[in-house]
A and B are shown apart, each in its own frame.
Chain A
């Protein structure tokens, strides 16, 4: 009975029982797989296309391993945040959520440092116009970074809304769930990039 009342309360009664927004997010992420798939393919084609200039060897595996670890850990924090909000624990929900954003910023900081190092290297600078390894690298990693940056902004917005009466105990959590889906996806893309471009 209470489930029925709940269903009546929600504006979007749906055929599958899934929230419209969540389904829309899945469709969007499906589209994004093709987006990053195409970029990755271009990167793989040009991985050794260096014209004698700097190539894969200049990638700093140690630094990126650390930022990768931070980014992957942030997914755990994201899960804990949603769980805390669902349990009605606003305080820890916010803390975990803020931590995700901070870890995203750390990752971005590492990327900015990496890009700056490449571009300003005094012997062998690597810019998008140096060779196609560089062009593909900046395109792929740059687009991923832009996705992380949008994610951080989104997390920040969600955090602000949690102070403005959203995600209250017993309320709906789709705002957290959506940004979580997006964040996990961006993480997953990084796993592919890190493996295919940095590791092998």
Chain B
């Protein structure tokens, strides 16, 4: 019998339960924390979007002021990218990566907890700005010199820049953790080319994050220097160059797009084979095209800057590299279709979301190829066409993919299925609402409606499309309410799912639902891409998930499973970091306070036995 040794807090009392969550280093619990927090921020960003849509529903409205409107679109973009979608992907990394590669936890469990707490405090820090004199208001890419002290004397931009720095630390730490976990903690036989596609995409995403984030880190450092130390990196008056900010931002910002979409692509690549009951078509090609997207993704950033005036040579070169990305992306889409082709497809909610993701992403990809052409871009730059394009990619692609993942793995982590009928209603309403919201925005953009204006006159022909768009956005909101109720009810009263409700092929379906704290009583030995199918069907590879008995002669009777101890240092260290950031805004004493907290927890961390 497996005996688990860890010094867990007493969970019979409320305080004990709360303490057990605060000090947890279990990747599954951290995933739940990520998921719940990210969905909370997703709701917040959604409310900001609804306010904007209400303001734009009719011409010449004055529901929210122009000043408030700039805060809304800035915080909507920032929240959705950094506080909702990236952490939702992080939730899936945490939930799935160790289970899919046959590990008991991630490589650095306390570092994992630290990443979460930094993210939570960083998100709160950035949103405190609403109460502390005004939220960030220079757009989610914060173009210089709009962010200069000269134009924004309040701390709004400082909240934004410091908040993004904090979130960047969280992302980089988490990515280092997942790179090491995936490269180093795979079960015996789990070679790179047997890993589930989601693990592949997680690995690629983690590499993207560690190489892309430093560019924005430097950009933000220089911005903070401009604001605090009176330098003029981005200020022409002092010899600086606002275009440098655009380069630094988009060198990060374009890979960021793939950071957001690749995990969703991984999720879809794992849902489709299960739903079609056949292996992923062209597995290595799907994996390598993901890597190709990431690699080329570092060489396309100035397609965000076609109208800056970098000259025809630069524009041509970046137009070509941008178009080139369509190739590996198209390869993936054809592989997904080929996976479904000829399969005996069971139409369940996860499949619907996955197919919806592929379809919507094709539309977003096509408008992306249009925008990749400099002449077209020059016409629709900064119009609603761009807004429509990015939402087809990030909502139609990422959000639909992530929701598919939630429906697909919900039973693994709760032991219960989400209600199938309401799931399908959610899917249908969301897809209709989404297209109603964003399809008209293409037309608005072509008609010349600029983005980020807080209202428009009545005689421009914008009324109908704007009204439809607003109606659509409320349909999305309604579908999300249905999802929320469905999820909450299903956690308590959903139909019990058993360990393997979808007849899945990957390792996580071979263990109980919800998984025990140690995941695998015995570390499996893998000899194929779909070890759970092999085990169930006996075909293909044999003995696919046989327990690791390579060194079976020694003390097999009682495999002591030693799990990492809970720790409160991660939350203290994260708090110290964010309090230091507060010092740059409120009062210098916070810097000292935060530094002391940081130092003490660092020492405590080192002294604490890790396992």
Contact residues of A between 84 and 106, Cβ < 8 Å to B: none
Say yes or no for B551: interface residue by CB 8 A criterion.
yes
Question: Chain B residues with Cβ under 8 A from A27's Cβ?
Answer: 175-176, 179-180, 210
Q: Point out the residue from B185, B218, B239, B611 that lies within 8 Å of A39, measured CB to CB.
A: B218
Say yes or no for B2: interface residue by CB 8 A criterion.
no
Question: Would you call A49 and B239 a contact (CB within 8 A)?
Answer: yes
Stretch of B221-229, B258-266, B566-574 that contacts chain A: B221-229
Given A23-B180, A35-B214, A131 and B238 contact (CB-CB distance below 8 Å): yes
Contact residues of B between 429 and 487, Cβ < 8 Å to A: none
Stretch of A13-21, A116-124, A183-191 that contacts chain B: A13-21
Question: Chain A residues with Cβ under 8 A from B210's Cβ?
Answer: 27-28, 30-31, 34
Per DSSP, chain B at the interface is helix
Cβ-Cβ contact count across A and B, 8 Å cutoff: 104
Question: Chain B residues with Cβ under 8 A from A136's Cβ?
Answer: 233
Contact residues of B between 198 and 227, Cβ < 8 Å to A: 210-215, 217-219, 221-222, 225
Question: Chain A residues with Cβ under 8 A from B229's Cβ?
Answer: 128-129, 135
Say yes or no for A114: interface residue by CB 8 A criterion.
no
Question: Would you call B211 and A30 a contact (CB within 8 A)?
Answer: yes
Give complex CA distance A194, B177 in Å: 33
Give complex CA distance A14, B190 in Å: 12
Say yes or no for B244: interface residue by CB 8 A criterion.
yes
Question: Would you call B183 and A135 a contact (CB within 8 A)?
Answer: no
Question: Would you call B180 and A32 a contact (CB within 8 A)?
Answer: no
Say yes or no for B17: interface residue by CB 8 A criterion.
no
Q: Point out the residue from B180, B233, B239 that lies within 8 Å of A42, measured CB to CB.
A: B233
Question: Chain B residues with Cβ under 8 A from A20's Cβ?
Answer: 107-108, 180, 184-185
Question: Would you call A31 and B211 a contact (CB within 8 A)?
Answer: yes
Of B179, B218, B248, B554, chain A has the most CB atoms within 10 Å of the CB of B218
Question: Would you call A51 and B184 a contact (CB within 8 A)?
Answer: no
Q: Point out the residue from B177, B232, B251, B611 that lies within 8 Å of A11, measured CB to CB.
A: B611
Given A34-B214, A132-B232, A16 and B239 contact (CB-CB distance below 8 Å): no
Give complex CA distance A131, B231 in Å: 7
Question: Would you call A15 and B238 a contact (CB within 8 A)?
Answer: no
Contact residues of A between 113 and 160, Cβ < 8 Å to B: 128-129, 131-132, 135-136, 139, 157
Say yes or no for B230: interface residue by CB 8 A criterion.
yes
Say yes or no for A65: interface residue by CB 8 A criterion.
no
Say yes or no for A24: interface residue by CB 8 A criterion.
yes
Say yes or no for A8: interface residue by CB 8 A criterion.
yes
Say yes or no for A57: interface residue by CB 8 A criterion.
no
Contact residues of B between 162 and 212, Cβ < 8 Å to A: 172, 175-177, 179-180, 183-186, 190, 210-212
Given A31-B213, A129-B230, A131-B238, A23 and B184 contact (CB-CB distance below 8 Å): yes
Say yes or no for B240: interface residue by CB 8 A criterion.
yes
Say yes or no for A38: interface residue by CB 8 A criterion.
yes
Rounded to whole Å, the gap between the CB of B179 and the closest CB of chain A is: 5
Question: Would you call B239 and A131 a contact (CB within 8 A)?
Answer: yes
Rounded to whole Å, the gap between the CB of B45 and the closest CB of chain A is: 27
Of B108, B210, B554, chain A has the most CB atoms within 10 Å of the CB of B210
Provide 12 A-B residue pairs closer than 8 Å at the C-beta atoms, listed in order of the A residue.
A12-B184, A15-B183, A24-B108, A31-B214, A34-B214, A35-B218, A45-B241, A128-B225, A128-B229, A135-B225, A139-B221, A157-B606
Question: Chain A residues with Cβ under 8 A from B222's Cβ?
Answer: 42, 139
Say yes or no for A60: interface residue by CB 8 A criterion.
no
Rounded to whole Å, the gap between the CB of A7 and the closest CB of chain B is: 9
Contact residues of B between 502 and 561, Cβ < 8 Å to A: 551, 554
Question: Chain A residues with Cβ under 8 A from B551's Cβ?
Answer: 4, 8
User: Please, which residue of chain B has its CB at the minimum distance from the CB of A136?
Assistant: B233
Question: Would you call B231 and A34 a contact (CB within 8 A)?
Answer: no
Question: Chain A residues with Cβ under 8 A from B239's Cβ?
Answer: 46, 49, 51, 131-132
Question: Would you call B231 and A24 a contact (CB within 8 A)?
Answer: no
Question: Chain A residues with Cβ under 8 A from B177's Cβ?
Answer: 24
Rounded to whole Å, the gap between the CB of A53 and the closest CB of chain B is: 10
Rounded to whole Å, the gap between the CB of B195 and the closest CB of chain A is: 11
Question: Chain B residues with Cβ under 8 A from A34's Cβ?
Answer: 210-215
Question: Chain B residues with Cβ under 8 A from A39's Cβ?
Answer: 218
Question: Would you call A31 and B176 a contact (CB within 8 A)?
Answer: yes
Q: Nearest 8 CB-CB pairs, A to B?
A: A34-B214, A135-B231, A38-B218, A35-B214, A31-B210, A129-B230, A14-B184, A20-B107
Question: Would you call A16 and B231 a contact (CB within 8 A)?
Answer: no
Question: Chain A residues with Cβ under 8 A from B175's Cβ?
Answer: 27
Q: B342-378 interface mask toward A, CB cutoff 8 Å, 1 = contact, 0 = none?
A: 0000000000000000000000000000000000000
Question: Chain B residues with Cβ under 8 A from A23's Cβ?
Answer: 107, 179-180, 183-184
Question: Chain B residues with Cβ under 8 A from A18's Cβ?
Answer: 184
Give complex CA distance A164, B185 in Å: 31
Give complex CA distance A157, B602 in Å: 12
Given A31-B172, A38-B214, A139 and B180 contact (CB-CB distance below 8 Å): no
Of B180, B225, B611, chain A has the most CB atoms within 10 Å of the CB of B180
Question: Would you call B238 and A51 a contact (CB within 8 A)?
Answer: yes
Give complex CA distance A28, B142 in Å: 27
Question: Chain B residues with Cβ under 8 A from A45's Cβ?
Answer: 241, 244
Q: Point out the residue from B231, B241, B554 that lies within 8 Å of A129, measured CB to CB.
A: B231
Known: A23-B179, A34-B211. 4 other contacts (CB 8 A): A23-B107, A28-B210, A38-B218, A139-B221
Question: Chain A residues with Cβ under 8 A from B212's Cβ?
Answer: 34
Give complex CA distance A128, B224 in Å: 12
Give complex CA distance A23, B222 in Å: 30
Rounded to whole Å, the gap between the CB of B43 and the closest CB of chain A is: 32
Question: Chain B residues with Cβ under 8 A from A24's Cβ?
Answer: 107-108, 176-177, 179-180
